[in-house]
Amino acid sequence: MKIKLIYITLFLLSLSNLQAQVEEAGVKKADQLYNGYEYLKARDIYLKVANRGYVSAYLYKKLGDSYFKTAEYKEAVKWYEKLFKLGVDPEPEYYFRYAQCLKASGRREEGDKYLQKYYSLVDDKFRNNTIRKKSYILYDNDIPLEYSSYKIDSLSINTEFSDFAPVILKDKLIFASAGYHPVGYKKKWQNGQPYFDLYEAKINAPNDVSGVRPLPGDINTEYHESSATFTPDGKTMYFSRNSFKPGEKGSNLSKLKIYRAEKINGEWKTVEELPFNSENFTYTHPALSPDGKRLYFSSDMPGSFGSSDIWYVEIYEDNSYSYPQNLGPKVNTTERENFPYISKDNKLYFASDGQLGYGGLDIFVADIDKNGMIGDILNLGKPINSPQDDFSFTIDTKHNYGYFASSRNNAKMRDNIYVFYKSNEIKKGDAKDLFSKMKDSIKVAIPKQESIVKGKDLGKLLDLKPIYFEYGHYDIGPRAAIELEKVIAVLRKYPDVKLEIRSHTDSRSSAAFNMKLSQKRADATRQYLIDSGIDPSRITAKGYGETQLVNRCKDGVKCTEMEHRQNRRSEFIIIQEEKK
């Protein structure tokens, strides 16, 4: 009897070992698919293994990663959650990925906890993390106000598949899409979508784009093309493309590379691969500087800090290129930086999930000086950024509108193109309408009458968020309008109170220009109050230019954009108290 029991035990153990070997073989096969960017096929196998009860930290990592790579953040949460419940101590990037997925799923406080843990684990020597050390998560009021006053709309050209990488070329919008293939097209890649091609459409108005057609010439192939950028004369284009690896069958796509093409008789011809591409690494998302002499791009080539970094090459007169240079640790992080874009006013816009953001990819901006040095990195804020992926930004700086792509409002997490309008293009009164729901919910703690004393700043009594202005502008954006509603509430409560609005600039530009600009800002603030029903006789407005700086940033002193912004402000000085 005892011998029989031993045999049964050995038999069951052998079955268990055999089952474990089968599961491990399944994971190995899935790994091969995953490493070939076949995330969906790999995921199917990982799921089958998991559903049979196989438990391992490695399996949960790969399942979470397979969803993370396809931007399905809510699904990724489930598997990262299982990973951390095992009580293991995974690599630092899993704290980061879990935090990003939690934020994208609306669980911001939990995401904050894991983000703090991630930052405590990673090497701090290559990052400028002053903001990060103060706050590990962005909330609405933390967003730089210059970049928060946008109105956005989806475009009618969006399809059921992904549409992204918009770029403005005169009166046309060039973009990548998987949704405009002819009827009967069946070729699909690893995420179940058709391959991307490049298209052009007519911009009738910023939010009216029509007449989509494939980019003419030799650009589109049966595989991926995307992310175009153009020289100032519009005659040369750089773009991304891939193909199958030579001599291989199946789904082994080659790495993305950057190509160059010339416009000849209205069509794009003479396509050639750039010489610094490599078969072993990805080179994609090209973007030219305004003068066409520097080409920025994203790559995972050696020397990168993270999954992908932003790099650049100099373009010489003979169309040769310098050796690629990494843009540095101020921009690049341990995670993904991609989709660079350089505006005509020499600002770098790029997407990152390693900089401080809402979840997924966010869009950031930084000034580039004449020596190519990068200024402070600022998050564009809502409504441009969301908890989902937001990327591939382009802007017409002359007419103050532009486009970007986002996976928001899409159950399948596929990307769509959105148009945005800057606040100084919003018609008079629209700023109020845009944030009317928010204003209806404003709760103002109106100060007691005895505290409304001549000489005091009403803004400080109300604890107003600063009425900041964008550099060189004087329009009242929606965020500023919210704060002004609080001033209006006090003026309505105390009809005898009179104010002097004092507006200030930073020290950049000439003193004469700044004095005129500050007066325009004071007048714009006063006019907003008057338009809201306040008697004009109760409000005076005076501009002080750069004469009353609140910090060290006078002429000749090098300061950050954040420090300069502190000087671009308005104050509300009480010049007459309420009668008793």
Q: What is the CATH number of domain 2-122?
A: 1.25.40.10
The DSSP letter of residue 3 is: H
How far is residue 462's CA from residue 571's CA, in Å, rounded to a whole number? 12
Q: What is the CATH architecture assignment of 145-425? A: 6 Propeller (2.120)
Task: Return the amino acid letter for 568.
Answer: R
Q: Which residue has the higher pLDDT, 325 or 20?
A: 325
Q: What is the mean pLDDT of the chain?
A: 82
Nearest residue to 557 (alpha-carbon basis) of 503, 504, 508 = 508
Q: Which residue has the higher pLDDT, 367 or 135?
A: 367
Least confident among 218-232, 335-349, 399-413, 446-460: 399-413
- Element at 514 (helix H, strand E): helix 511-531
**What does each C-alpha distance from 471 to 301, 347, 468, 517, 562 come to in angstroms?**
37, 13, 9, 10, 11
What digits encode the pLDDT tens for the residues 90-103?
998 899 889 888 98
How far is residue 468's CA from residue 470's CA, in Å, rounded to a whole number? 7
User: Which pLDDT band holds residue 28 (cuts at 50, 70, 90)?
Assistant: confident
How far is residue 580's CA from residue 494's CA, in Å, rounded to a whole number? 11
What digits encode the pLDDT tens for the residues 141-165?
444 444 456 778 899 999 988 999 9
How far is residue 321's CA from residue 107's CA, in Å, rounded to a whole number? 46
How far is residue 499's CA from residue 538's CA, in Å, rounded to a whole number? 6
The average pLDDT across 40-51 equals 89
Is 149 in contact with 185 (CB distance < 8 Å)? no
Token pair for residue 65?
A: 């990663």
Give the DSSP per-residue string, 298-361.
EE--TT-SSSBEEEEEEB-TTS-BPPPEE--TTT--SSBEEEEEE-TT-EEEEEESSSS-SSS-
Residues ≥6 apart with Cβ < 8 Å to 44: none
pTM of the entire structure?
0.66
Whether the pLDDT of residue 18 is over 60: the answer is no
- Element at 152 (helix H, strand E): strand 150-154
**CB neighbours of residue 33 within 10 Å:** 20
Give the best-scoring range by mean pLDDT among 18-32, 349-363, 413-427, 486-500.
486-500
Whether the pLDDT of residue 127 is over 50: the answer is no
Whether the pLDDT of residue 258 is over 80: the answer is yes
Give the DSSP per-residue string, 211-273.
EEEEPSBS---SS-EEEEEE-TTS-EEEEEE--BPTT--SS-BPPPEEEEEEEETTEEEEEEE
- Element at 45 (helix H, strand E): helix 39-51
Note the pLDDT of residue 474: 66
The rounded Cα 552 to chain-centroid distance in angstroms is 31
Q: Does this chain's domain 2-122 share its CATH topology with 430-576?
A: no
The DSSP letter of residue 425 is: G
Bridge partners for 225 per DSSP: 241
Whether the pLDDT of residue 514 is over 90: the answer is no
The average pLDDT across 259-285 equals 95
Nearest residue to 351 (alpha-carbon basis) of 342, 361, 365 = 361
How far is residue 110's CA from residue 196's CA, in Å, rounded to a whole number? 36
How is the chain split into domains, by residue range? 2-122, 145-425, 430-576
User: Which pLDDT band holds residue 130 (cuts at 50, 70, 90)?
Assistant: very low
Whether the pLDDT of residue 204 is over 60: the answer is yes
The rounded Cα 553 to chain-centroid distance in angstroms is 29
User: Which pLDDT band holds residue 16 (cuts at 50, 70, 90)?
Assistant: very low
SS3 for 405? strand
How far is residue 153's CA from residue 211's CA, in Å, rounded to a whole number? 19
Whether the pLDDT of residue 435 is over 70: the answer is no
Whether the pLDDT of residue 495 is over 80: the answer is yes
Whether the pLDDT of residue 218 is over 70: the answer is yes
How far is residue 521's CA from residue 457's CA, in Å, rounded to a whole number? 17
The average pLDDT across 69-84 equals 90
Q: Place domain 430-576 in its CATH homologous superfamily.
A: OmpA-like domain (3.30.1330.60)
Least confident among 71-75, 319-323, 422-426, 486-490: 422-426
The rounded Cα 270 to chain-centroid distance in angstroms is 34
Whether the pLDDT of residue 136 is over 90: the answer is no
The average pLDDT across 206-224 equals 92
